[in-house]
Amino acid sequence: MQRELKLQREADLEWARQVSQRPGCEGLFSCLQCGACSGTCPLSIYMDFSPRRIVALVREGFRKDALSSKTIWLCASCYSCAVHCPRQIHIADVMYGLKREAIQDRLYPARFPIPVLAQEFYKMVRRRGRNSEFWLVLRMALRSNPLILLGMVRTGWNLARTGRLSLRRERIRDIASLPQEIAPREVA
Amino acid sequence: MSDRNGAVRIGVYTCHCGANIAATVDVKALAEFAALLPNVVLSRDYKYMCSSPGQDLIRQDIRDHQLNRIVVASCSPHLHEHTFRTALKVGGLNPFYFHMVNIREQASWVHENKAQATRKAKDLVCAAVRRVAFHQPLERGRVAIHPDVLVVGGGIAGIHAALTLANAGKHVFLVEREATIGGHMAKFDKTFPTLDCAACILTPKMSAVRSHPNITLWTYSEVTKVDGYVGNYKVTVLRHPRYVDEDLCSGCLECLEACVCKQAKVPDDFNLGLSKRKPIYIPFPQAVPQVPVVDPETCIQFKSGKCKTTCIAACGDRHAINLRAEAKVEQIEVGTAILATGFQTFDARRTPYYGFGKYPNVYTALEVERLVNASGPTAGEVVLRDGRLPRTVGIVHCVGSRDENTHRWCSRVCCMYSLKLAHLIKERTGAEVFNFYIDMRTPGKGFEEFYQKLLNERVHFIRGRVAEVTDWVFDASEEGKLVIRVEDTLAGFVRRIPVDMVVLATGLEPRADAPEVRRLFNISCASEGFFLERHPKLAPVNTFTDGIFLAGCCQAPKDIPDTVAQAGAAAAEALALIDAGYVETEPNTAHVMEEQCCGCKTCISMCPYHAVSFIEDIHKSRVNEVLCKGCGTCVAACPSGAIRQNLFEDDEIFAEIEGVLSNA
Amino acid sequence: MPNPYGYFPGCSLKGTGVAYEESLLALFQLLDLPLAELDDWNCCGATSYMCIDECSAFSLAARNLALAHKAGHRELLAPCSACYLVLRKTQDYAERYPGIAAHNGHLAICRAIRVRHPLEVLYTDLGPERIRKKLVRHWRGGRVACYYGCQMVRPYAEADRDCDPVRMDELLGAVGVPTVDYSLKTKCCGGSLTGTTHSVGLQLTEILLNEAARKGAQAIATVCPLCQYNLDAYQSEMRRASGKRPDMPILYFTQILGWALGGDLASLGFRRAISGRKTIEQWFTKDRVEKEAYVR
C-alpha cells in the first residue's frame, strides 16, 4: 500500500502561471471544475486523469503528475471540450502545451506510439516539408512497437490495391523557407 | 463678487483626514500657503473636518471673523459637500458660498511622492480660493410630489408594492401587460422551501388588489409614454381591447363553453404551448380580473365576420361581449413609479446540446411547473408527451447560467426550484430522479434543510455539468431512452445515465422588452441588461432617476421572499417621498439668457435629459430646471453663449484655471 | 473566367485520400469553379507539429498562407479538416496573440486570405438550389448518414454549426439523396489513434458505424480524409451488434455530388473504396438501362 499525500513543496505555482499565459489557455484559473469537458470528451473514458482533473492538477502546480499522464497523449484535438466549457477555456490547447513539455522532458513511456508518431512527423516535415504516409507509419512503428506493422498488413494491402498507398518520398522544392528552429520555442 | 460689506473674506480649512491625507500631503505647509492667498482671512488645518467639532469650527469662525466664503480641502464632494454646506447654513451663510477641494482622492491617494502631492494640493487650493470669490448665493428649488403612484407589472412584486401603498392611503395605478395579474408565480404549483401552494398564497393578494378602493387595476395594458419629472410624471397608458367589458362581465365563463370552436386549437401561452385554448379564453381559473379575453388573431368573427357569435348569446342580458371594442388611451399623473416588470426564462434552444426542441421528452423547468400544477395541461400528472409515466428523470442545473457562452451570472433560484421539482416529481411518479449540478446553492432560510430532506428522499445528486443529452445508444439497455453523458466528478468517472425525461433548469434573464421600458422611464441597466440600482448595497431599490424605483426580478434574479421584501422597500421609498411632500432640487442648473438666445435650437437636440424646450411664441429656448441635471452640454454648445450654468459660470471657471496655473 | 480559388490539398489528399482530390477536382470542374493548387505547398503540420514546437507550427502553416497571398489568391480552400483547422487557427491566433506574429521570422501571417472548406464554399457561393438545377443523374442508392467530423466545425463554426450541422445534408438532399437523422454527426472518429493505440481508435470508429446503421443508413458521407480512412479501412475487424461484419461504403460528399451532376465515373475515385464495394457498384458504377438512370 503506497502513501498518496501531496505536499506543498511539490506544487510549482510559477509553472501554473506560465501555462495560463499560453495562447488559448487564458481562462485556466477561472475553471469551475464543472466537468463538462470530461463529459463531452470522447476519449475521457480511456484516460487516467479526466481533462477536468488535468486542469485541476495544472492549476495547483502538480507538473510531474500532469506531464506523466496518458491523458495528454490520448487527446485527439477534437475541441469538444473548448466548445462546451462555460469559461471558454481551450483545454485542447492546454493539452498541446503539456505534450510539448512532456516531450522535452522525456516524461512518457519510451516506446509509447503517440509521442513517437509526433516526433517522427516533426522530423520528416522539418526536413522535407511534407509527410509521406507510408514511410511515416513505418518509422513510427519501428521506433515504438513493430508489432503494429503486423496488424497493418491487411490494411496496407487494401490501400495498395486501391491505389491509396504511395511509396513516394514527398518533398517540397524550397526547403530553406521552412522554419528551421534549432530548439522548440513557445509563443508565450 | 463681494458681499454686503463689499469685501470677500475667505476661510480655508485643510483636513488631515487622520493619516489619509496627512501622511502624503504636508497639511501644515498647505494651511500656511493658503493663509497667504488673496482674500483669505483665516486658514486652519484640522484632523477631521467632517466631525462635529470640525463643523463647529466653521460655524464659529463665520460668526467670529465675519467670513463670507468657505473653502474646505478634504475628501470627495460626493461624501461631505452636503455636510459642509449645511454647516454654512447653520452658521448663517448661504450654503453655496462654499467650495470643496478634493486633496484626498485627487492628491494624497494618487501620489507616493510627498512633495508632488503637496504641490498639487496647493494648486488645487489656489484654484478653489480664486473661484469661490465669484460664487453667488443660490437657493434650492422645491418640487411638489403628486401623491399617486404608478406600479408597472402585476406579478408578486407589483402586487405587494401596490397593496402596501394602497393600505397607506395612496392611490395606485397598477398596469399589467397580460390579461391577468399574478406573473410567473401564478404558474407555479408549490414554492420552495416550505412547499406552500403558490396559488393559495397568491390569490388572496390578487383578490385584495381587485377589491381595494385605492387601486386602479388596468390589465391587458401597457405604458406607452412617460413625460415629466420626479413628482410630476405624466404617463400615457394604452389599454388593449379584451372585447369583453370588465364592468359588465360577471365571470360566469359560459361564453367559453358556448364558443363555436368546440375543440381548443390555439396553443395556450400560459401553459407554454403544452395545451390548447379557444379563441375566447381566460388565462387560468383564478385569473384576476375574472374576465375572458377574445383573441382577434384566431376568433372566426374577426377573421371572416361570419360567426354565429354564440358567445354573445350565452352572455344574454349582461351584454358584456363587445367585439367592436377599441383600444383606449388613458393619461394619468403620478408622482412616483415602481417598475416591477419581472423576468423571462432562458430559451433552452440556445443550448442545443440538451436537445430541447429536438427530443420531445426534454422539458424546461417552467413547462414541468405547469405539468405538476393541478390546473395545468395534465391536471397535475407528470406524464410525457406520449402519455407514459417517466421511470427515470434527469434534472440538469445551470442551463444558460454561469456560462460565458450564454449568461455569466448565476440565476440564484434554479438550484432550489430544481430540488423542489425533484421532490414533486418523485412524489407524484415514484421515478428515480437525478439532479446534475455544478454547485449546490441553497443559502436562504430553510434552504439547506430542504436540501437535506431531498438527500434523505434518495434523490441522486451528481456533481457534474451535463455535456450532452443524446439518443445514440451504447447498448440495448439504453434503447428508447435519452442518455445523459456526464462526468461524476465526485465519484471520479464518466457516466451514461439513460432517462425517460430530461428537465432543464433554465436560468432567468432580463425580458426582451426591458430596453423599451428602460427608455420610457429613463433609467439605466448594467451590462447584463437588468435594471440598474443606484447602489448595490445601500440603495437597492432606487434608480439614478429620482422617483423611479425597482422591485423584483427586473433588477436581478431573486426568489419570492426577496422579491416581496424588495417590493415593500420600494413602496417605503415611494412613501417617504410622497409624505415628505416635496423634493429639493440641486441649483447647479443651466438657464437661458433670453435676450441673447437666437432661436437656433442647438441646445434642444444636445440635451440628454430632454430638459430644454422651445417656446414658439417668443422663439427662444427654455431650460426646465427640475429636469436639468447640470451636465453643461448646452452651455458649451450654445453658439451665442446664451446659456449659463449656476456654480459653473465663466468667471468661476476661468478663475479656477488661473489658480491652477498660477504656481507653474 | 472568375478568379480561381487557391487550393491546398494537404498530404493526405495525395495519399490515402486521393479519392477526395479526384472527386473534388471533378466536381469543381463540373460547376465551373476554378481551383489552382498552391505551388510548392508544405505540410500544414496537423496535430503533430503543435505537439513538439509551438512557434514552428504556426510558421509552418503560415508559409502556405504567404504562398497563397503571393499567388494572388484571396481565398484558400482546404478540403482536409485538419489542414482547414490548422490554417484557420493560425490566422485567428496570429490576430489575437501578437506574440505569434512577432516570432514569425520572415513570414508575416497573412490575414487577408480567407481560409474556407469546400463544403462551405459550395453551400454559400452556390447553394442547394443552384446545385439542384444542375442535376443529371437521379439518385438510385439508399440512405446516407452525413458525418461531419470534429475539426471542420470546432472550434470555428464557420463551415457549419457545431451542434447538429446540416449543410452537407442539404447539399446532398438537393440532389435527391435521403439522409438519416444521425446523432453522431460531429463525434470524433479518433483521428490518428487508429494507427497508434489501435483498439481505442477502433472503438470510437465502431460507434460511428453502428449508430449510422441503427438509424437506417446504408452509407456514410464524409468531409475529411482521415475520417474516411478510419471508417473505411477497418470494417473487417469490427462486429455489429448482430454479429455480422459491417460493409458500409464510406464516401466523400464530393463523390456523391460529382456523380449526381453527371461527372465521369472514372474520375470520381469510386475504385478507391475498401469497404462496401458491392454497394458502390450498385449505386454508382454499374450500368443500367439508359432510360432508368439518366432521366433528365
Phi, psi of B173 (to 5 degrees): -100, 115
Q: For residues C157 and C155, give the distance between their C-alpha atoms in angstroms, rounded to a whole number.
A: 6
Q: Supply the Cα-derived Rg of chain C in whole angstroms.
A: 19
Q: Give yes or no for A45 touching B (CB within 8 A).
A: yes
Q: Supply the Cα-derived Rg of chain B in whole angstroms.
A: 32
**What's the CATH number for C128-285?**
3.40.50.11810
Q: In terms of Cα–Cα distance, which of B580, B585, B573 is closest to B628? A: B585
pLDDT in tens, B43-96: 999 999 999 999 999 999 999 999 999 999 999 998 899 999 999 999 999 999
Are the C-beta atoms of A76 and A43 separated by less than 8 Å? yes
Q: pLDDT band at C100, cuts 50/70/90? A: confident
pLDDT of residue C288: 60
The answer, yes or no, to whether residue C296 has pLDDT greater than 50, is no
Residue from B405, B468, B472, B479 whose CB has the most chain C CBs within 10 Å, to mutate: B472
pLDDT of residue B591: 94
- B592 forms beta bridges with B643
> Which three cell numbers, joined as nine digits, stand for B545?
432617476
Residue from C156, C196, C204 whose CB has the most chain A CBs within 10 Å, to mutate: C196
Q: Do C233 and A129 touch (CB under 8 A)?
A: no
The gap from C-alpha B44 to its chain's centroid, in whole angstroms, comes to 45
Q: pLDDT band at C292, cuts 50/70/90? A: very low
Chain A: give the shortest CA distance to residue B345, in Å.
Answer: 19
Q: Do C183 and B472 touch (CB under 8 A)?
A: yes
Q: Which DSSP symbol is given to B553?
A: G
- 361-420 in B: which are within 8 Å (CB) of A? 398, 402-405
pLDDT in tens, B426-439: 999 999 999 999 99
Q: For the domain that residue B31 is a member of, what is the CATH number?
A: 3.40.50
Are the C-beta atoms of C27 and C253 separated by less than 8 Å? no
The number of beta carbons lying within 10 Å of the beta carbon of residue C133 is: 9
The mean pLDDT value for B23-42 works out to: 95
The answer, yes or no, to whether residue C294 has pLDDT greater than 60, is no
Q: For residues A90 and C50, give the distance between their C-alpha atoms in angstroms, rounded to a whole number.
A: 14
The answer, yes or no, to whether residue B1 has pLDDT greater than 60, is no
pLDDT in tens, B473-493: 998 899 999 999 999 999 999
> Which three cell numbers, joined as nine digits, stand for B142?
422645491
Identify the three-state secondary structure at position A25.
coil
On average, the pLDDT of chain B sits at 95
**Domain chopping of chain C, boundaries:** 5-119, 128-285
pLDDT of residue C107: 59
Q: For the domain that residue B600 is a member of, what is the CATH number?
A: 3.30.70.20
Phi, psi of C290 (to 5 degrees): -45, -50
Size of interface B-C (CB pairs under 8 A): 15
On average, the pLDDT of chain A sits at 94
pLDDT in tens, B112-124: 999 999 999 999 9
pLDDT in tens, B92-112: 999 999 999 999 999 999 999
**What's the CATH number for C5-119?**
1.20.1050.140
Q: Give yes or no for B479 touching A (CB within 8 A).
A: no
Share of chain B above pLDDT 70, in %: 99
Q: pLDDT band at C108, cuts 50/70/90? A: low
Q: For the domain that residue B500 is a member of, what is the CATH number?
A: 3.50.50.60
Domain that holds residue B541: 149-240+329-342+511-580
pLDDT in tens, B368-422: 999 999 999 999 999 999 999 999 999 999 999 999 999 999 999 999 999 999 9
Q: pLDDT band at B347, cuts 50/70/90? A: very high
Q: Are residues B353 and B438 in the same domain?
A: yes
- B74 forms beta bridges with B102
Contacts of C164 in chain B (CB under 8 A): 352, 358
Question: Are β-strands C75-77 and C114-116 bridged in parallel, bridged antiparallel, or unpaired?
Answer: parallel
The mean pLDDT value for A54-76 works out to: 96
Q: Do B358 and C164 touch (CB under 8 A)?
A: yes
The answer, yes or no, to whether residue C291 has pLDDT greater than 50, is no
Any alpha helices (H) in chain A, and if so which ranges?
13-21, 36-40, 51-59, 63-67, 71-74, 80-84, 91-104, 113-128, 133-143, 147-151, 153-161
Q: Are residues B395 and B422 in the same domain?
A: yes
Q: Do B465 and A38 touch (CB under 8 A)?
A: no
Share of chain C above pLDDT 90, in %: 82
Are the C-beta atoms of B251 and B318 separated by less than 8 Å? no
Q: For residues B140 and B559, give the distance between their C-alpha atoms in angstroms, rounded to a whole number.
A: 41
Are the C-beta atoms of A88 and A129 separated by less than 8 Å? no
Q: For residues B372 and B370, give the distance between their C-alpha atoms in angstroms, rounded to a whole number.
A: 6
pLDDT of residue C241: 66
Question: A8-104, what's its fold?
Answer: Fumarate Reductase Iron-sulfur Protein; Chain B, domain 2 (1.10.1060)
Q: Is C189 left (phi over 0), alpha (psi -120 to 50) or beta?
A: alpha
| Nearest residue, CB atoms, B403 vs list A37, A52, A86 | A86
Q: How far is CA B618 from CA B22, B603, B643, in A?
A: 56, 16, 16
pLDDT of residue B6: 74
Chain B: give the shortest CA distance to residue A76, in Å.
Answer: 18
The answer, yes or no, to whether residue A104 has pLDDT greater than 50, is yes
CATH 1.10.1060 domain locations along chain A: 8-104
pLDDT of residue C2: 63
Q: Give yes or no for C124 touching A (CB within 8 A).
A: no
Q: Give yes or no for B472 touching A (CB within 8 A).
A: no
Q: Give yes or no for C18 touching A (CB within 8 A).
A: yes
Q: Are residues B355 and B425 in the same domain?
A: yes
The answer, yes or no, to whether residue B5 has pLDDT greater than 60, is no
Chain C: give the shortest CA distance to residue B499, in Å.
Answer: 17
Q: Are residues B450 and B529 in the same domain?
A: no
The answer, yes or no, to whether residue C59 has pLDDT greater than 80, is yes
Q: For residues C24 and C251, give the distance between their C-alpha atoms in angstroms, rounded to a whole number.
A: 12
Q: Are residues B529 and B504 in the same domain?
A: no
Q: Do C163 and B352 touch (CB under 8 A)?
A: yes
| Nearest residue, CB atoms, B486 vs list A27, A33, A35 | A35
Share of chain B above pLDDT 90, in %: 93
Chain B: give the shortest CA distance to residue C157, in Å.
Answer: 14
The answer, yes or no, to whether residue B203 has pLDDT greater than 70, is yes
The mean pLDDT value for A134-141 works out to: 94
Total domains present in chain B: 5
Chain B: give the shortest CA distance to residue A39, in Å.
Answer: 4
Please list, in sequence order, all residues whose beta carbon lies within 8 angstroms of the beta carbon of residue C280, skipping any fewer than 6 positions away: C249, C251, C270, C273
